[in-house]
Amino acid sequence: MNLLKYNDYITEKMAYELLLESKVIFSKKFTNLLTKMKSNKVASDLLNIYTKDVNVAHNYIDVTDEKDAVSFTPDRKVQELLKDKPQLWEVISSERYLTHSSGNNSLFEALGYEKPEGEPWAPSTGTVGEILGETVSRKSGNIYVIFQEEGTTRKTVLNKEALERTDASSDSKVWSTSRNNIKIGRLVRAILKASGLEFTDKDIEEFTNQYKATFDFQQDVLKQFDIVTGDKIAYWYDNSGEDRYVDGGGTLNNSCMAEVDTDYFDMYCNNPEVSLVILYGDDGQIKDNKYVSDEIKGRALLWKAQIGGVGVEFMDRIYTSQDSDTELFKQFAQKNGWWYKKSQSMDPGETITDGTNSKSATITVKLTGGGGDWDYYPYMDTLCFLDEDSDTLTNDEDSSYDKVFRDTDGGYNHDF
């Protein structure tokens, strides 16, 4: 076993002693980073320590600008900063509030809760507020609380399991005052020791290496993009039963192609000129040095095309669950030198741009894996006109074409 230098020993000893003072609290940034590497044993242990509220330490651990270090504030300083400030809680389940049924009157009476007229307020997930009182149900043993939304007078009675302590908001002084930096490996050793969890030097080394790799990925959101081909195109279009889209609205969740038969996409899957750009959801993980997730929050077709006789790559209309992610697709296109639609409309003749230059242009794609001979066809925003003789798609409605793919039921039209 390697001997620590004296200064390193003092640093680790101080960290260990601090960890014995109260409970471990992680910043959202640190928690998100650990979540992206939760397949790692140590990362999983750390997440369990936090979420299960094990009595180990109060550190307010946060990421730093250095990928091999984290920061913390001593608990005694935290208590100074949070003195006289209300303890805040966040709603993590929106379905655990009590109705105003007379069967709940004994709980309301014990809490001192006066039922307002009408239906009870049902706070949504993410609502932050205070607990004004709590009681234990004699029937179930569950703890029920009066919860009041921060900054309002709205109150309701919740099962306490629906709440998670926030401890301090992201902009609180607790995350910026008296911060102490320490190497991630040393602090993790201290946390695991204080928690009584078993680990080896190899566990710490593997965790540290993956932490640094994940940190690098966190700094570049464009690494959440991937490009898929073949059957994977149909897989990521389909949101009918697997919930492969991140929850929300936007053009992605409202797409007419989100819940159709996978046969609709045979033309895409069987032609090498077509691929799909996907933006993975934020709850993914780093596996084999690559970011992956079970859900996507955006997609756009990518074509190997011709513009004015010159070979280009053209990114078609962007579909996202959040409008803000559209800009990420544009950044990714610019990074790769692609052309893309300047405005995300269904207009085939929409102006295109590479981020610097903009123009109206005729775009063509020669399909080498089969053009119009499929049982079903997708609805297409841009390259919707097909010349069957040459198996060529185009966005030019004045061209010679046989089929127009603007039918949401898997068919086609002869006229635009």
Q: Which of the listed residues 219, 253, 286 is the one where a domain comes to its end?
A: 219
Examine the domain organization and report whether 264 and 359 are in the same domain.
yes
Residue 89 has what pLDDT? 87
Examine the domain organization and report whether 260 and 310 are in the same domain.
yes
Examine the domain organization and report whether 227 and 286 are in the same domain.
yes
Examine the domain organization and report whether 309 and 201 are in the same domain.
no
Dihedral angle computed from the Cα positions of residues 376, 380, 385 and 387, in that order, rounded to the nearest 10 degrees = -40
- CA pair distance 182, 174, nearest whole angstrom: 17
pLDDT tens column, 217-229: 878 889 999 999 9
Domain that holds residue 46: 6-85+170-219
Which region, left, alpha or beta, applies to residue 164 given φ > 0 means left and ψ of -120 to 50 means alpha?
Answer: beta
Share of the chain above pLDDT 90, in %: 51
pLDDT average, residue stretch 105-129 = 89
Residue 117 has what pLDDT? 84
pLDDT average, residue stretch 354-358 = 92
Structure tokens at 218: 């966190």
Structure tokens at 275: 């691929």
Examine the domain organization and report whether 358 and 394 are in the same domain.
yes
Residue 22 has what pLDDT? 56
Examine the domain organization and report whether 96 and 53 are in the same domain.
no
Residue 201 has what pLDDT? 95
Name the residue with higher pLDDT: 163 or 56.
163
Q: Is 113 exposed, middle or buried (0-12, 13-18, 19+ CB in 10 A)?
A: buried
Examine the domain organization and report whether 134 and 269 are in the same domain.
no
pLDDT tens column, 276-288: 999 999 878 888 8
List C-alpha distances in Å: 193 to 200, 324, 359.
Answer: 11, 43, 62
Confidence grade of residue 11 (pLDDT, cut at 50, 70, 90): low
CA-nearest of 400, 406, 368, 407 to 386 is 400
Structure tokens at 133: 């009182």
Residue 137 has what pLDDT? 77
Confidence grade of residue 99 (pLDDT, cut at 50, 70, 90): confident
- CA pair distance 156, 100, nearest whole angstrom: 10
Examine the domain organization and report whether 179 and 121 are in the same domain.
no
Confidence grade of residue 391 (pLDDT, cut at 50, 70, 90): very high
Confidence grade of residue 47 (pLDDT, cut at 50, 70, 90): confident
Q: Is 415 inside any structural domain?
A: no
- CA pair distance 33, 281, nearest whole angstrom: 14
Highest mean pLDDT among 97-101, 157-161, 311-315: 311-315
Residue 4 has what pLDDT? 43
Confidence grade of residue 23 (pLDDT, cut at 50, 70, 90): low
Name the residue with higher pLDDT: 214 or 21.
214
Q: Is 375 inside any structural domain?
A: yes
Whether residue 191 contacts residue 149, with contact meaning beta carbons closer than 8 Å, is answered with no
pLDDT tens column, 170-217: 446 777 788 889 999 998 998 888 888 999 999 999 999 999 988 988
**287 pairs with which residues across the strands?**
290
Examine the domain organization and report whether 291 and 198 are in the same domain.
no
pLDDT tens column, 241-260: 778 999 888 899 999 999 99
Confidence grade of residue 297 (pLDDT, cut at 50, 70, 90): very high
- CA pair distance 30, 63, nearest whole angstrom: 6
Average pLDDT, rounded, for the chain: 86
CA-nearest of 164, 159, 133 to 148 is 133
Q: Is 364 inside any structural domain?
A: yes
Terminal CA-to-CA distance of the chain, rounded, Å?
Answer: 75
Residue 20 has what pLDDT? 43
Examine the domain organization and report whether 248 and 373 are in the same domain.
yes
Examine the domain organization and report whether 77 and 182 are in the same domain.
yes
Structure tokens at 217: 């990925």
Whether residue 296 contacts residue 242, with contact meaning beta carbons closer than 8 Å, is answered with no
Residue 393 has what pLDDT? 97
**358 pairs with which residues across the strands?**
353
Q: Backbone phi, then psi, for 298, in 5-degree steps?
A: -175, 155
Residue 167 has what pLDDT? 56
- CA pair distance 225, 211, nearest whole angstrom: 20
pLDDT tens column, 130-172: 889 888 776 666 788 999 998 899 999 998 888 887 754 444 6
CB atoms within 10 A of CB 231: 14
Domains in the chain, number: 3
pLDDT average, residue stretch 348-352 = 96
Residue 300 has what pLDDT? 98
Q: Is 70 inside any structural domain?
A: yes
- Three-state SS across the chain? CCCCCHHHHHHHHHHHHHHCCCCCCECHHHHHHHHCCCCCHHHHHHHHHHHCCCCCCCCCEEECCCCCEEEECCHHHHHHHHCCCCCCEEECCCCCECCCCHHHHHHHHHHCCCCCCCCCCCCCCCCEEEEEEEEECCCCCCEEEEEEECCCCCEEEEEHHHEEECCCCCCCHHHCCCCEEEEHHHHHHHHHHHHCCCCCHHHHHHHHHHHHHHHHHHCCHHHHEEEECCHHHHHHHCCCCCCCECCCCHHHHCCCCCCCCHHHHHHHHCCCCEEEEEEECCCCEEECCEEECCCEEEEEEEEEEEECCEEEEEECCCEECCCCHHHHHHHHHHHHCCEEECCCCCCCCCCEECCCCEECCCEEEECCCCCCCCCCCCCCCCCCEEECCCCEEECCCCCCCCEECCCCCCCCECCC
Whether residue 191 contacts residue 243, with contact meaning beta carbons closer than 8 Å, is answered with no
User: Residue 59 above 60 pLDDT?
Assistant: yes
**393 pairs with which residues across the strands?**
365, 386
Name the residue with higher pLDDT: 80 or 323.
323
Examine the domain organization and report whether 368 and 329 are in the same domain.
yes
Residue 75 has what pLDDT? 67
Residue 19 has what pLDDT? 45
Q: What is the Rg, in whole angstroms, of the alpha carbon atoms belonging to the chain?
A: 28
